[in-house]
Structure 1
Amino acid sequence: MGLHEQFPAYGGRGPGDLRLGLALGSLATVVMAMRVYVRLRVNKFGTTALIWSLMAWMFTAITQILGIISVLHGLGNHITIVTKTGELHNFLLFTWITVFFFNLAIPTGKVAVAAFLIEMNGQSNPKIRRSLIILAVANIILNIPQVLMVWFQCTPVDALWDPLRQSHCDHRKSVYYTYFVGAVAAFSDFYLAIIPINMLMPLRIDRKLKWGLSFLMGCGIFAGVAAIVRTWAAKFILSDDSSYGVGVLFRWGEIEEWVVLITMSIPPVWPLFRPFTHKFIKSTSSRSQPRNYQQPYGTSAPGDRASLAPPPLVTTTISISSSKEPTPTSVPVGASSDSVSKYSDDHQEVPYNVLSDKNMEAAWVQLSDLEKNPYPQ
C-alpha cells in the first residue's frame, strides 16, 4: 500500500518537500556526526559552538519529523482535498506544532554559527567579536515573541487546530511579525557568511586554499536567500488555499535550516580532509615559478654572500590542528609541517594562532608568519 492510499490527503507539493527535507537532513546528520567525531578524537576546539550546533540539529530534526507527518496529512496539498478527506484537523494540529519547533530551530542555528565564528576569531578582532555577540543575542530575543505567538493566535488555544472554530483565530499579527524576524534572519545569514571571508582574505596563505575555505564558509548566503523566500511565503498562511501555499514556506524553511547546519559544520571537520588536500596544496606550490636571480644562493665566496639577493621566502604556512596536544609555540627551521613551501635558514618563523584564542589548547587553523617580510609576494 502506497502513501497515497494510506494517507489520502498526501500530495501536491508535499512529496517534493518530503524528499528534499530527507536528503538535506541526511547530509546534515552525517556532517554533524563527523563534527562530533573530530571534537572527541582529534582536537578540543569548538566545544561551545558544537553544543549550540547539536541543539540546532535537534530542533531541526524534530521540525523535519513533524513536517513529514504534516505532509502526510495534507501540508502542501490543496485545502479542498484536505477538507474532503477529513484530514483538516490533523493538518492544522501537526502544521502548527511544526511551526513552533521551526521558530526554535531558526535562531538556534544562527547562534551556533555565531558561536563558531567567535571561537574562531578569538580575541584577534574585538569589533567582530562584539558584532557576533550582538547578532546572536538579537536573534534569541527577537524570536521569543515569534515562538509564543503560535499559541496566542486563537481564543481558546485549542481552536488553533479545530476546523470549526477557525473564526476565533487571527493570524495576521503572527504573519506580520514573521516578516520582521524573517528579515533579521536573512540579514544574519548574509552577515555570518561574509564575516569569515573578511577574516580569511587578509591572510597570506595558499590562494586556492584561501578561496576554497572562503567559499565553504560563505555558503551561508544560500541560507539567506532561503530565508528571504521563506519570509515572502509566510503570506500564504492568510490565503484561502493555505495548506497548498504553506508548502512553499515549509520547503524553503527546511532548506534554510539544513543549509545552515551543513555549511557551519564543514569547516570544523577539515582535519578529516587534511590528508587529501595536503598533496594538492603542495603540488600547487611546487608549480609556482621562482624568481630569477643572477647567481644561485650560496654559490659565491663567503665574502661575497652579503652582496647576493636572498632567496624567495614563503611568509605563511597553514596547518590544521589534528591532535589533542597543546599547539607548539615555535617551529624549528627545517621541521616537518604542512608548509606549502620551504623557508630559509636565515629567518626564524614565529607561529601564532590567528583564528583562535591564544589560550586554547588546539586551534582550528594555525598560521605562521615571519616577523619581518622584506620580500612580500
Structure 2
Amino acid sequence: MPSLEEKYPAYGGRGPGDLHLGITLAIIATIFMSLRVYVRLFINKFGTTALILSLIAWLLTAITQTFGVLAVLHGLGNHVTSIAQVGELGNFLFYTWMTVFFFNLAIPTGKVAVAAFLIEMNGQGNPKIRKSLIAVAATNIAVNIPQALLVWVQCSPTNALWDPLQQDKCDYRKNVYYNYFVGSVAALSDLYLAVVPIHMLLPVKIDRKLKWGLSFLMGCGVFAGVAAIVRTWAAKFILSEDSSYGVGILFCWGEVEEWLVLITMSIPPVWPVFRPFTTRFVKSTATGSRRRGYTYNLKTPYSTTAAGDQSPGLPPPLVTTRISISSVKDLELHDTAVEPSEASSQISDERLPHELSHGTRMSRSWVELSRVKRSSS
C-alpha cells in the first residue's frame, strides 16, 4: 500500500504532526461524547440541553477536522514552493479556507455548550454567574458570525479565494486583524469558563482529593485558553510569504482549542461512569451507610410546635449536599420519615450542612440531597 507521501505529494512539513495530533484528540473527544450520551440515556436525565449543544459542537468540529485533514494532505503545513511544484495550490487553498469557515462556527458553538452546562450545573444558586455565562455565550456568537462571513468576502470574485492565479484579487488583512479581536474574546472566554466550575466546587464539603481532582480536570479548559492565545498570534502567518507552512501552526493550535473544549466539558457529565473506580481514593460520604440518595419534603416544617421549638427526642435532620453529577433534572422532593434511631447515628466529617428555606424547590441541580445522621452526644 502506498504511503501518504506517495499518494499525496504535497503532504509534508508540519502537516503530519498536525494530522496525528488532531486525530488523536478527535478520538478522545468522541469517546467522551459517546459516554455522555450513554450517561444521559441510561443513568440520569441531567443536562439534556447542554448535551444537544455539545453534540452540535462536536459535529461542527468533526467537519472542521475533516476539511483540515484534506487540507493537510494537499499541502497545509508544508512549504508553499513544494505545494506549487506538484500543482496542489488550488486544492490547498480550497480545503484550508473551508477549514477556517467551519472552525469559526465550531469554536463559538463549543463555548455556548460549555456555558449551557455550567448554567444547568449552577441551577438557581448564583444569578450573577448565570447572567455572566449567558453573556459569554452571546458574545462569542456575536463576534464569530462576522468572522465566518469574512471568509467569503475577502476576494472578488469569491472563487478567487481558491484560485492561485487570482490571489491578487484577495485582501486577507481584514480577516487577520479581526481574528486578533475574536481570538482575544475566545481566550478570555475559555479562561473564565475554566475558573467558574472551580468556584462552584470550592464551597462544597467533599473529600479533599475528590474536590481538587475534579477542580483540576474541570479547570483544564485553561489549556484551551492558552491554545486560543497561540492560534490568535499565529494568524499573522496568513499574510506571510510562506503562508502554507506558517498556517500549520495556526491549524495545530486551533485543533487543540476545539477538541480540548469538548473534552473538558465532558468530564463532569461522565463522572458517574468513573465514580465506582475512585472509591478507593476518596473517603466514604457516609459512615456505615450505603451510597444512596434520600430526599426530604421541604414544604412543611419538621416541628409542629411553636416557632423555635422542636419535637422532643427528634431533632430536625440536616440537609447537606454530596457531590454528584448524576442527579436528575427537576428533582422532586418527597416525604421521607426519619427514625429516632437513625437520628442518633454518626455524622460524616465530609458533610457540609446547608440552610434551605421551607417551600423551596431544587431545579436543575447537580447535587443530591442525602439523609444526614446526627452524632450522638
State TM-score, norm by structure 1.
Answer: 0.82
Distance 1:162 1:281, change over 3 A: same
Does the aligned pair in 1 maintain the 2:201–2:215 contact within 8 Å? yes
Structure 1, gaps ≥5 residues long: 287-312, 336-340
CA distance in 1, matches of 2:219, 2:6: 43
Give the aligned partner of residue 19 of structure 1. Answer: 20
Give the aligned partner of residue 343 of structure 1. Answer: 347
With 37-46 and 272-281 compared, the bigger mean Cα shift is at 272-281
Identity %: 68
2:321 corresponds to 1:321: no
CA distance in 2, matches of 1:324, 1:190: 27
Give the aligned partner of residue 65 of structure 1. Answer: 66
Does the aligned pair in 1 maintain the 2:225–2:257 contact within 8 Å? yes
Give the aligned partner of residue 188 of structure 2. Answer: 187
String of CA shifts for 1:198-241, please: whole Å, max 9, x gaps: 11111222211111111111110000000000000000000000
CA apart distance, 1:67: 0.4
One of 359, 364, 367 as aligned partner of 1:365: 367
> Which aligned pairs between 1:301-320 and structure 2 lie closer than 5 A?
317-320=322-325
Distance 1:82 1:342, change over 3 A: farther
Give the aligned partner of residue 293 of structure 1. Answer: none
CA apart distance, 1:359: 3.0
Aligned residue identity for 2:362: K
> Which aligned pairs between 1:119-158 and structure 2 lie closer than 5 A?
119-158=120-159
Give the aligned partner of residue 8 of structure 2. Answer: 7
String of CA shifts for 1:49-82, please: whole Å, max 9, x gaps: 0111001100000010110000000000000000
Does the aligned pair in 1 maintain the 2:347–2:372 contact within 8 Å? no
Counterpart secondary structure, 2:283: helix
Does the aligned pair in 1 maintain the 2:136–2:189 contact within 8 Å? yes
CA distance in 1, matches of 2:158, 2:49: 36
Distance 1:175 1:58, change over 3 A: same
Give the aligned partner of residue 224 of structure 1. Answer: 225
Distance 1:224 1:36, change over 3 A: same
CA apart distance, 1:358: 1.3
CA apart distance, 1:314: 11
CA distance in 1, matches of 2:330, 2:204: 25
What is the CA RMSD across the aligned residues, in angstroms?
3.0
Aligned residue identity for 2:218: M
Does the aligned pair in 2 maintain the 1:329–1:351 contact within 8 Å? no
Give the aligned partner of residue 314 of structure 2. Answer: none
CA distance in 1, matches of 2:334, 2:355: 7
2:48 corresponds to 1:44: no
Structure 2, gaps ≥5 residues long: 288-317
Counterpart secondary structure, 1:76: coil
Give the aligned partner of residue 165 of structure 1. Answer: 166
CA distance in 2, matches of 1:369, 1:176: 57
Does the aligned pair in 2 maintain the 1:74–1:82 contact within 8 Å? yes
Aligned residue identity for 1:252: W
With 237-246 and 39-48 compared, the bigger mean Cα shift is at 39-48
Does the aligned pair in 2 maintain the 1:350–1:369 contact within 8 Å? no
Counterpart secondary structure, 1:77: coil
Give the aligned partner of residue 305 of structure 1. Answer: none
> Which aligned pairs between 1:106-125 and structure 2 lie closer than 5 A?
106-125=107-126
Counterpart secondary structure, 2:39: helix
Does the aligned pair in 2 maintain the 1:89–1:162 contact within 8 Å? yes
Give the aligned partner of residue 282 of structure 1. Answer: 283
CA apart distance, 1:274: 1.7
String of CA shifts for 1:305-353, please: whole Å, max 9, x gaps: xxxxxxxx99654444367995655776689xxxxx9428xx9x7797x
Distance 1:91 1:195, change over 3 A: same
Counterpart secondary structure, 1:366: strand
Does the aligned pair in 1 maintain the 2:319–2:354 contact within 8 Å? no
Aligned residue identity for 1:249: L
String of CA shifts for 1:241-263, please: whole Å, max 9, x gaps: 00000000000000000000000
Q: How many residues align?
A: 335
CA apart distance, 1:282: 2.8
Give the aligned partner of residue 203 of structure 2. Answer: 202
> Which aligned pairs between 1:237-248 and structure 2 lie closer than 5 A?
237-248=238-249
String of CA shifts for 1:74-97, please: whole Å, max 9, x gaps: 000000000111000000011001
String of CA shifts for 1:179-209, please: whole Å, max 9, x gaps: 0000000000000000111111112222111
Distance 1:350 1:136, change over 3 A: closer
Aligned residue identity for 1:83: A
Counterpart secondary structure, 2:193: helix
Distance 1:14 1:188, change over 3 A: same
Counterpart secondary structure, 1:43: coil
State TM-score, norm by structure 2.
Answer: 0.82
